[in-house]
Amino acid sequence: MQDATLSDVTYDCLVIGGGPAGLTAAIYLARFHLSVLVVDSGDSRAELIPLTRNHAGFPEGISGSALLSRMREQAGLYGTQLRSARVDTLSLGPDGFEALSGSAAFRARTVLLATGVVNRRPPMIGAADHARALAEGRLRYCPICDGYEVTDKRIAVLGTGERGTNEALFLRGYTQDIGLVAPEGGHELSDEQRADLHDAGVQIVGVCDAAVLEEDGLRLDIEGASIRVDSLYPALGSDIRSELAREVGAEMSDEGCLIVDAHQRTNVPGLYAAGDVVLGLDQISHAMGEGGVAATTIRNDLARKAPLRR
């Protein structure tokens, strides 16, 4: 960090990630009269949600971007510092943490990682069509969030193996017209998985070569034939943003999810984690709950070391 301009402020908590978990924690922390900096790269998965109808308190639903905007405003009201940037490196020294973000560096007594995950996108859909398909509900990533919206619709799941099978079987609870479409490389299904899909009435379809957004839905080109679906659910997994935690020796699962205790503490003293970067239910409400737990734990842990109000 020799070339970075080090802030002369040591924050009580640096929150890395400005999604539902990070912003909830920031609101709590600021209202605990702690100094808080949120550094957010601006690519939370929540920003991509056209309309969430599971979030309590919004009967007509709310877009992910609108929800995060309200949360940023609320955090700012209580003194949270918000910075649009990406944290490049994180280190731990005898006096706390230091984070490098471009040419700036920040010090903090504690760090909350709320960096989330990134969905693996269907490779046959370009960026422009991807954004439009999401906005129109032709492409959906979360059956728990919006399975209700595809009730009795014609849908397809893009995936195979355990992940694809489980997602197709879950969505079968919403519609009878469902197929499991193979990604590049074809299906890798056990006999038991094939039997489970057959018994549930899920059609096993070939490899999807292309997906074309049309007025009446999404056209999937599959081994020389075409089918049209109302919505496609990619079940290709996700990449967990836990690289910063690895730099300071945090324990994580084989997949890269951070391992925390019941109070969102990692094995590294002063490092906490909340939201989708932690293994659990990838839901806004769950992430917000973890953010509140983490913030309260941070406040109490700091209070054990020194009085918080002087």
**Residue 152 falls inside a structural domain:** yes
Tell me: do 10 and 149 sit in the same domain: no
**Which of 234, 256, 278 is the last residue in one of the domains?**
234
Rounded CA separation 119/276 (Å): 11
What pLDDT, on the 0 to 100 scale, is given for residue 156?
Answer: 97
Tell me: do 209 and 246 sit in the same domain: no
Enter the DSSP assignment of 159.
-
Tell me the per-residue pLDDT of 85-119, one tens digit each, with 9 for 90 and over: 999 999 998 889 999 999 899 999 999 999 999 99
Tell me: do 107 and 141 sit in the same domain: no
Q: For helices 20-31 and 64-77, what crossing angle results, to 10°?
A: 20
What pLDDT, on the 0 to 100 scale, is given for residue 235?
Answer: 96
What pLDDT, on the 0 to 100 scale, is given for residue 306?
Answer: 80
**Which of 234, 260, 278 is the last residue in one of the domains?**
234
**Residue 67 falls inside a structural domain:** yes
What mean pLDDT, rounded, does the chain reach?
94
Its domain, for residue 285, covers 5-118+238-305
Tell me the per-residue pLDDT of 120-137, one tens digit each, with 9 for 90 and over: 999 989 888 999 999 999
| Residue spans of alpha helices (H) in the chain | 20-31, 64-77, 127-136, 143-146, 161-171, 191-200, 243-247, 284-305
Tell me: do 162 and 189 sit in the same domain: yes
Rounded CA separation 47/65 (Å): 5
Tell me: do 215 and 280 sit in the same domain: no
CB-based contact 232:155 (threshold 8 Å): yes
**Which residues, in sequence order, are CB contacts of 70 under 8 Å at separation 6+?**
none
| CATH code for the domain in which residue 33 is found | 3.50.50.60
CB-based contact 36:79 (threshold 8 Å): yes
The model carries a pTM of 0.92
Enter the DSSP assignment of 202.
P
Tell me: do 137 and 215 sit in the same domain: yes
Tell me: do 225 and 137 sit in the same domain: yes
Tell me: do 50 and 143 sit in the same domain: no
Average pLDDT over residues 206-220: 92
What pLDDT, on the 0 to 100 scale, is given for residue 3?
Answer: 61
Rounded CA separation 93/270 (Å): 11
Tell me the β-bridge partners of 227. 220
Tell me the per-residue pLDDT of 153-189, one tens digit each, with 9 for 90 and over: 999 999 999 999 999 999 999 999 999 999 999 999 9
**Residue 310 falls inside a structural domain:** no
Report whether pLDDT(309) > 70: no
Tell me the per-residue pLDDT of 223-255, one tens digit each, with 9 for 90 and over: 889 999 999 999 999 999 999 999 999 999 999
Rounded CA separation 256/143 (Å): 23
What pLDDT, on the 0 to 100 scale, is given for residue 1?
Answer: 42
Share of the chain above pLDDT 90, in %: 88
Tell me: do 230 and 263 sit in the same domain: no
In 76-196, beta strands by DSSP E: 81-84, 89-93, 96-101, 104-113, 117-119, 155-158, 178-182
How far from the centroid of its chain's Cα atoms is residue 278's Cα?
A: 10
Rounded CA separation 272/294 (Å): 7
Average pLDDT over residues 8-32: 96
**Which of 180, 206, 234 is the last residue in one of the domains?**
234
Q: What is the number of domains present in the chain?
A: 2
Tell me the per-residue pLDDT of 255-297, one tens digit each, with 9 for 90 and over: 999 999 999 999 999 999 999 999 888 899 999 999 999 999 9
Average pLDDT over residues 8-35: 96
